[in-house]
Chain A
Amino acid sequence: MGKHYKVTSGLLGLKTDAVRAVDGVSLTVSKGETLGLVGESGCGKSTLAKCVMGLESISSGRIVFQDRDVSDWPEKALRRKMQMIFQDPYSSLNPRQKIGSIIREGLDIHSIGTRAERRARVQELLGLVGLRPEHGTRYPHEFSGGQRQRVAVARTLALDPDLIVCDEPVSALDVSVQAQILRLLKTLQTRLDLTYVFISHDLSVVSHIADRVAVMYLGRIMEIGPGADIFATPRHPYTEALLSAVLTPDPTRRTERIPLSGELPSPMNPPSGCPFHPRCPKAFERCPQERPELRETAPGVQVACWLY
């Protein structure tokens, strides 16, 4: 699928350009697995997430959910099946709504159960994410970042979804709290048989939670494969560079850092051929001329690079 934003400029808006925020991305996520989506800021991770959620329309391609194109799904039914957790727990909770009402909103919208049943469900959800029942009557500003993110998790669970898109769910939290939330997400996944699309720019977080990992650069997928495989033997030069930038607390394991020169090019005017070639340390003649497609190099691993 692809997502292009139209950019109008010039007098009277006669010049039109397209920003290819997400360009020709093809992914499958199997039930019960966690797909990690990594890449630096501006590579199209969040746009991809919003397209999957139907919060942004797609410009090309299609999204198939449970063997059915999303456009064939009845809107309301689809909304119950997929939910999203946002990065910033400070802006994702309405400051003028009580926690209980925030969690209950999905149930209210879809008129599920009686009032008493909804209230009971909210209590149950609060318990499920490790909050106390009395927290339901408080306002978001009374909670810490970690607690707020627990509320956000409870809200997504209210409608009993199959797929949860987590857009950088722990990036705004302290490291100690990050681990708690990750553990919570993992426990919930096994208990409720959830499927996650987990977006992060933090590779150590992704390595913790993801079964498979897709590396994105400039709206395209560079490499995709099982998490353990990708972290152990990165194949794409961009993945190598990303991994070399991860800090390890082990002083004996000194890795050679691969510095990347230059800025992320504008997706309005992407480089010819392989989008990574201007910054790639291993680029050769073929790279600027032709765009490499994703090809399987090992079982389950696909890489878009002329080196393979």
Chain B
Amino acid sequence: MTWFSRTTRRRALKRPSPWSRHALLAVGGFIVGLMSVGALLAPWLAPFDPNLINVDALLRAPSAEHLMGTDALGRDVFSRILFGGRVSLWVGFVAVGIATSIGLVLGLMAGYFGRLVDEIIMRGVDVMLCFPSFFLILAVIAFLEPSLTNIMVVIGLTGWMGVARLVRAETLTIRERDYVLAARAAGAGSGRIIFRHILPNALAPVLVSATLGVAGAILTESSLSFLGLGVQPPDASWGNMLLEGKEVLGIAWWLSVFPGLAILVTVLGYNLLGESLRDLLDPRLKQ
């Protein structure tokens, strides 16, 4: 065997190491886990009441007592970050839950029943996608009052189109599999075929898109709060903390940097988790 053929063979055998993929999954999972624990246990982990005003400690830099410093009203930034994380997590999960449920139902119906049902649902998707969703959310929130519930519902109602398209595509392929034909041959009705045969086999990509969706929803909520249309003061959210920090950026960098980092790291975590789940679950990417 010549030198040439040996190296080409080795190159052909070389594939992305499974370790890098698992490492990303681990990092993403760790970040998401850490943020979730921090948010869930905020009342016990926070050293101070997040809304406690302390006029004796205004704009203090990070120290052993105040890990991330204090803001213009003397509130502890670390405690507010923890409580802000609860908002982000809650918004992320509820909004994605709403979007995924709508997308699943509509996608399954469009893919399974086809024809007119498909046409109506998918043209509805097209129409929804025409709106720049962030401005739609802004407009709706400006009309309604900016409460946490409204934000979650509106983000959910404007985010289901991707899931619907995904589920429809999956349904179209699964519908033609022989096990669905076998179920029909045995006399199975539409409900049984959809829920026993199609749905369980279409769930993997939905899980991935939901994970990535959480990151998007967290970002949207932060942006809304930053614009003053999200969580209202005095309640903490990473977005409105950034808004407050903006005024004193020159003299108190910690007010902007820590909420910013919190958003960055959390979104990164969900994206890493989602991407590596996709690699793991998508059989088309498996060698």
* Interface, chain A (partner B; CB < 8 A): 50, 53-55, 75-76, 79-80, 82-84, 86-88, 91-97, 105-106, 109-110, 152, 155, 158-159
Contacts and interface: CB of A to CB of B under 8 A. Distances in A.
Interface in B178-199: 178-179, 181-189, 192, 196-197
Contact of B192 (A93, A109, A159): A109
Nearest to B180: A94
A53 B188 CA distance: 14
Contacts of B186: 79, 83, 105-106, 109, 155, 158-159
A50 B176 CA distance: 13
B181 A76 contact: no
Contact of A79 (B177, B181, B185): B185
B250 interface: no
Contacts of B232: none
B280 to A, nearest CB: 16
B187 A79 contact: yes
Q: Top 8 nearest A-B pairs by Cβ distance? A: A79-B187, A92-B178, A96-B200, A106-B186, A86-B178, A94-B179, A91-B178, A84-B185
A88 B177 CA distance: 10
A110 B187 contact: yes
Among A75, A80, A87, A96, residue most surrounded by chain B Cβ atoms (within 10 Å):
A96
Contacts of A83: 185-186
B201 A88 contact: no
B192 A96 contact: no
A134 to B, nearest CB: 22
A76 B189 CA distance: 10
Contacts of A159: 186
A164 to B, nearest CB: 10
Contacts of B197: 94, 97
B181 A109 contact: no
Contact of A92 (B182, B188, B200): B182
